[in-house]
């Protein structure tokens, strides 16, 4: 089976009104080229579930989003994501704020077909008072209050991995795969962009096979997008582009989404990459050290 | 040896980890991370720390001058999903820097002012604060003690559970919540006042108690044996300089004040 498609073909699975999950974490290993393809489409009214960075910021600022399920939207070295901040302060989006760990539980519940997973997390905080999707339940085993973290069922998940074969066996060679396996499993349809395509025999090495965090039948489509995580990192291949994020922050602050889109979005990924210095420049971006 | 206020605060904060034993210590921000690292190097060698990325370390990494994670003292993989296995087990102590802290020890890093639907300033979001606060020990690091941080009412968005009887969940008591220390640029506090009231336990050298009260939006208890915050030892200062070779700690507090105020 060959699951390889173009970015445009893959993203056509996303329809207005859908709930999409986006893998990665803040400025790290985000499927940004797929997000850019969404920005070029006429899809809107999305619900987005993510450990958010500029993926969430851009989609919100572009008017594609009606609701965000999040624990944070941040670029780490720039704590406040500029586009998300602007949209959130304008009141243009509904928010469903949850704890970082609750998101993991919600994705697991969806993956496992459970309506919810009970947790202490959220008790006593505004997460339970402000988020209308969260309910407290009684336990049959004790007399305490529990938060029933509901399943975060996704229509489509967008993930960026390091390598894949055409059947959808995906390697994440970065030091952390974050919650990407749960985004993949929580979703009815999982699209994975990768920096490199490999032959299936590549996975015969047991060290490589240990870096495969979900089975190929969880992957619906594969899109070969070298440099496709830019400006986020795709460790170990390239780091995140601090300079581009700063430029992006400046453009959003001065001219909003249109200013960034006019300067960088382009009409294809090749066009985008030429505006940010080309693939060679992306591959030169140093890995962050903390 | 002379020392800066930042170094005094780092040493005070590091003492909050002294009796923790084998727990994961997480310091968010440069000075809190330095405090946790110092504790692991001195008072609590059993402590556990990560590289802020994906590995548990046997020896803390420096907070400045790192150019690569190659060669660091890894002891186990510790990706973000696995962090929650640790968080929910309770074997963790986080030292965090909230934007607001109220009289209940509730904190806020999510948004400020306006309404919840249209906040005046969107900050980070609640991040891991709800789960941290109901699962394990937490201490707070406040670089600028003021009524903007220590707010009069409740926090604008309550991100972490505190000692608030109104918000206490069914089946829970204050004993289920573990807020340890609050380290500011003026003093050190805990929550061992009457009914878990926030309480001043030591003042930094040269700081009058009145200044702490004036810069706090609510009533504070004061410890009967309130003293002066312990000065860093030469050994602590030496280890701090090893952990922060580029002296990033000097850039964390405005004008890098000295640790003993009268020396200004």
Domains of chain B by start residue, with CATH: 5-252 (3.40.1080.10)
Contacts of B103 by beta carbon, 8 Å cutoff, 6+ apart: B197, B198, B217, B218, B219
* First-to-last C-alpha distance (Å) of chain B: 15
What pLDDT, on a 0 to 100 scale, did the predictor assign at position B4? 98
| Joined tokens for residue B226 | 């309130």
- Model ipTM value: 0.96
What pLDDT, on a 0 to 100 scale, did the predictor assign at position A288? 86
| Mutate which: B117, B168, B169, B248, vs A, most A CBs within 10 A | B169
Q: How many CB atoms lie within 10 A of CB B9?
A: 29
A146: distance to nearest CA of chain B, Å?
9
Query: Chain A residues with CB inside 8 Å of B171's CB?
Result: 142-145
Query: Chain A residues with CB inside 8 Å of B119's CB?
Result: 88-89
Q: How far apart are CA B184 and CA A247, in angstroms?
A: 35
Contacts of B217 by beta carbon, 8 Å cutoff, 6+ apart: B103, B147, B150, B151, B152, B153
The partner residue sitting opposite A175, judged by closest CB among B53, B67, B170, is B53
SS3 A84: helix
Instruction: Please give the residue of chain A at the shortest CA–CA distance from B119.
Output: A89
What pLDDT, on a 0 to 100 scale, did the predictor assign at position B233? 98
SS3 B79: coil
What pLDDT, on a 0 to 100 scale, did the predictor assign at position B1? 82
Q: Do A290 and B110 touch (CB under 8 A)?
A: no
What pLDDT, on a 0 to 100 scale, did the predictor assign at position A289? 87
Q: Do A71 and B51 touch (CB under 8 A)?
A: no
Residue in the structure block whose two tokens are 């009970």 = A118
Instruction: Please give the residue of chain A at the shortest CA–CA distance from B110.
Output: A72
Q: How far apart are CA B38 and CA B30, in angstroms?
A: 12
Contact A50, A186 (CB under 8 A): no
Contact A90, B118 (CB under 8 A): yes
Q: How far apart are CA A19 and CA A107, in angstroms?
A: 13
B204: distance to nearest CA of chain A, Å?
30
Contacts of A138 by beta carbon, 8 Å cutoff, 6+ apart: A145, A146
Q: Do B133 and A124 touch (CB under 8 A)?
A: yes
The partner residue sitting opposite B160, judged by closest CB among A125, A145, A175, is A125
What pLDDT, on a 0 to 100 scale, did the predictor assign at position A54? 98
| Mutate which: A91, A122, A125, vs B, most B CBs within 10 A | A125
Q: How many CB atoms lie within 10 A of CB A270?
A: 10
**How do the pLDDT tens digits run along chain A, 290 residues long?**
999 999 999 999 999 999 999 999 999 999 999 999 999 999 999 999 999 999 999 999 999 999 999 999 999 999 999 999 999 999 999 999 999 999 999 999 999 999 999 999 999 999 999 999 999 999 999 999 999 999 999 999 999 999 999 999 999 999 999 999 999 999 999 999 999 999 999 999 999 999 999 999 999 999 999 999 999 999 999 999 999 999 999 999 999 999 999 999 999 999 999 999 999 999 999 998 88
Query: Chain A residues with CB inside 8 Å of B160's CB?
Result: 125
Mean pLDDT across B115-133: 97
Q: Do B79 and A177 touch (CB under 8 A)?
A: yes
SS3 A224: strand
Q: Do B159 and A126 touch (CB under 8 A)?
A: yes
Q: Do A289 and B124 touch (CB under 8 A)?
A: no
The strand order across the sheet containing B187-190 reads B24-27, B92-96, B137-142, B179-184, B187-190, B199-203, B221-228
What pLDDT, on a 0 to 100 scale, did the predictor assign at position B175? 97
The pLDDT confidence band at residue B212, using thresholds 50, 70 and 90, is very high
Each residue's pLDDT tens digit, B60-91? 999 999 999 999 999 999 999 999 999 999 99
What pLDDT, on a 0 to 100 scale, did the predictor assign at position A197? 98
What pLDDT, on a 0 to 100 scale, did the predictor assign at position B262? 76
Q: Phi-psi bin for A147: left (phi > 0), alpha (psi -120 to 50), beta?
A: beta
The partner residue sitting opposite B125, judged by closest CB among A25, A71, A104, is A71
Query: Chain A residues with CB inside 8 Å of B88's CB?
Result: 101, 119-121
The partner residue sitting opposite A104, judged by closest CB among B52, B84, B134, is B84
Strand partners, A49: A21, A69
Contact B127, A72 (CB under 8 A): yes
Q: Do A126 and B158 touch (CB under 8 A)?
A: yes
What pLDDT, on a 0 to 100 scale, did the predictor assign at position A25? 98
Record the pTM.
Answer: 0.97
Q: Do B118 and A25 touch (CB under 8 A)?
A: no
Query: Chain A residues with CB inside 8 Å of B68's CB?
Result: 287, 289
Q: Do A101 and B161 touch (CB under 8 A)?
A: no
A33: distance to nearest CA of chain B, Å?
24
Helices of type H across chain A = 7-11, 32-40, 54-61, 82-90, 100-112, 126-130, 180-186, 206-209, 242-260, 269-275, 278-283
Q: Which class does domain A7-97+153-275 fall in?
A: alpha beta
Predicted confidence (pLDDT) at residue B264 exceeds the cutoff of 60: no
* First-to-last C-alpha distance (Å) of chain A: 41
Q: Do A123 and B134 touch (CB under 8 A)?
A: yes
Q: Do B118 and A123 touch (CB under 8 A)?
A: no
What pLDDT, on a 0 to 100 scale, did the predictor assign at position A290? 83
């Amino acid at each position: 089976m060959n699951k390889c498609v173009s970015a445009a073909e893959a993203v056509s699975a996303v329809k207005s009104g859908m709930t999409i999950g986006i893998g990665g974490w803040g400025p790290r290993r985000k499927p940004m080229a797929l997000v850019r393809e969404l920005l070029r489409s006429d899809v809107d009214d999305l619900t987005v579930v993510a450990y958010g960075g500029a993926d969430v910021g851009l989609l919100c600022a572009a008017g594609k989003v009606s609701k965000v399920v999040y624990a944070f939207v941040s670029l780490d070295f720039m704590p406040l994501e500029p586009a998300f901040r602007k949209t959130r302060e304008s009141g243009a989006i509904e928010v469903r704020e949850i704890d970082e760990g609750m998101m993991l539980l919600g994705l697991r519940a969806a993956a496992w077909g459970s309506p919810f997973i009970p947790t202490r997390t959220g008790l006593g905080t505004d997460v339970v008072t402000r988020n209308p999707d969260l309910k407290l339940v009684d336990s049959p085993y004790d007399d305490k209050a529990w938060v029933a973290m509901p399943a975060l069922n996704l229509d489509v998940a967008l993930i960026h991995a390091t390598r894949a074969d055409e059947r959808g066996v995906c390697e994440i060679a970065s030091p952390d795969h974050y919650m990407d396996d749960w985004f993949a499993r929580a979703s009815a349809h999982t699209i994975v962009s990768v920096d490199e395509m490999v032959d299936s025999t590549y996975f015969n090495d047991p060290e490589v096979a240990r870096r495969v965090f979900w089975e190929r039948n969880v992957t619906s489509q594969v899109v070969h997008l070298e440099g496709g995580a830019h400006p986020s990192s795709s460790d170990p291949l390239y780091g995140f582009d601090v300079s581009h994020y700063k430029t992006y922050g400046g453009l959003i602050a001065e001219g909003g989404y249109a200013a960034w889109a006019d300067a960088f979005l382009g009409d294809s990924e090749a066009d985008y990459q030429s505006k940010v210095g080309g693939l060679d420049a992306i591959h030169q971006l140093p890995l962050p050290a903390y | 040896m002379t020392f800066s206020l930042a170094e005094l605060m780092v040493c005070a904060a590091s003492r909050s980890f002294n009796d923790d034993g084998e727990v994961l210590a997480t310091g968010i921000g440069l000075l809190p991370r330095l405090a946790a690292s110092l504790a692991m190097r001195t008072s609590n060698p059993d402590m556990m720390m990560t590289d802020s990325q994906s590995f548990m370390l046997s020896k803390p990494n420096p907070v400045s001058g790192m150019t690569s994670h190659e060669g660091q003292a890894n002891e186990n993989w510790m990706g973000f999903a696995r962090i929650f296995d640790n968080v929910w087990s309770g074997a963790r102590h986080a030292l965090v820097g909230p934007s607001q802290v109220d009289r209940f020890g509730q904190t806020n890093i999510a948004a400020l002012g306006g309404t919840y639907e249209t906040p005046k300033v969107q900050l980070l979001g609640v991040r891991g604060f709800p789960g941290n606060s109901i699962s394990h020990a937490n201490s707070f690091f406040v670089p600028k003690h003021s009524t903007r941080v220590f707010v009069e009412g409740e926090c604008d968005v309550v991100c972490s559970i505190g000692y608030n009887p109104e918000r206490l969940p069914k089946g829970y008591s204050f004993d289920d919540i573990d807020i340890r220390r609050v380290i500011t640029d003026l003093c050190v506090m805990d929550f061992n006042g009457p009914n878990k009231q926030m309480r001043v336990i030591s003042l930094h050298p040269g700081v009058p108690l009145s200044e702490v009260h004036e810069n706090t939006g609510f009533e504070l208890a004061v410890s009967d044996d309130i003293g002066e915050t312990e000065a860093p030892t030469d050994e602590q200062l030496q280890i701090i300089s090893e952990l922060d070779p580029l002296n990033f700690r000097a850039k964390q507090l405005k004008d890098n004040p000295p640790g003993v105020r009268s020396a200004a």
